């Protein structure tokens, strides 16, 4: 289940899809997408911050689990600034060196 975005981020401009992994050990952030004409307006960071706040909120409808994602090289800096750390590389044929796999512990009570 992906939560509703914050009111300041219209869903037709940007969205974030996430799900709890089948073994319930991680919250997988699958897609963070911003329509090209709205990129550079800080919608991505606002959407990500809102989603991470829900993950960290002990009363949230989201199950307790750390956040995990695969980052594009362009987005690595954003994710690092939000507490994500490298845990390896995800490789696929035709994708060069692959993408960083990143993990951020749930921060309840911080």
Weakest-pLDDT range from 25-29, 36-40, 58-62, 69-73: 58-62
pTM of the model: 0.73
Q: Distance (Å, rounded) from C-alpha 62 to C-alpha 95?
A: 32
Residue 20 forms part of a structural domain: yes
Residue 22 forms part of a structural domain: yes
Residue 7 forms part of a structural domain: no
Weakest-pLDDT range from 11-25, 33-47, 93-107: 11-25
How high is the mean pLDDT of the chain? Answer: 77
Give the total number of structural domains in the chain. Answer: 1
Confidence of residue 1 (pLDDT cuts 50, 70, 90): very low
Structural domain of residue 55, as residue ranges?
14-104
Residue 2 forms part of a structural domain: no
Residue 90 forms part of a structural domain: yes
Q: Give the domain CATH number at 52.
A: 3.40.630.30
Which helix (H) or strand (E) element contains residue 85? strand 85-90
Residue 97 forms part of a structural domain: yes
Question: Who wins on pLDDT, 32 or 3?
Answer: 32
Residue 109 forms part of a structural domain: no
| pLDDT value at residue 72 | 83
H-state helical runs in 37-75: 43-56
In the chain, helix, strand, coil percent, each to 5? 20, 30, 50
Mean pLDDT along residues 58-86: 82
Beta bridge partners of 32: 16
Residue 85 forms part of a structural domain: yes
């Amino acid at each position: 289940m992906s939560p509703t975005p914050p009111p300041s981020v219209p869903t037709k401009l940007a969205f974030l899809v996430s799900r709890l992994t089948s073994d319930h050990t991680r919250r997988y952030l699958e897609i963070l997408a911003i329509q090209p004409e709205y990129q550079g307006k800080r919608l991505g960071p606002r959407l990500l911050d809102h989603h991470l706040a829900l993950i960290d909120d002990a009363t949230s409808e989201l199950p307790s689990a750390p956040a995990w994602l695969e980052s594009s090289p362009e987005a690595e800096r954003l994710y690092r600034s939000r507490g994500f750390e490298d845990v390896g590389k995800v490789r696929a044929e035709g994708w060069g060196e692959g993408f960083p796999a990143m993990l951020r512990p749930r921060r309840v009570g911080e």
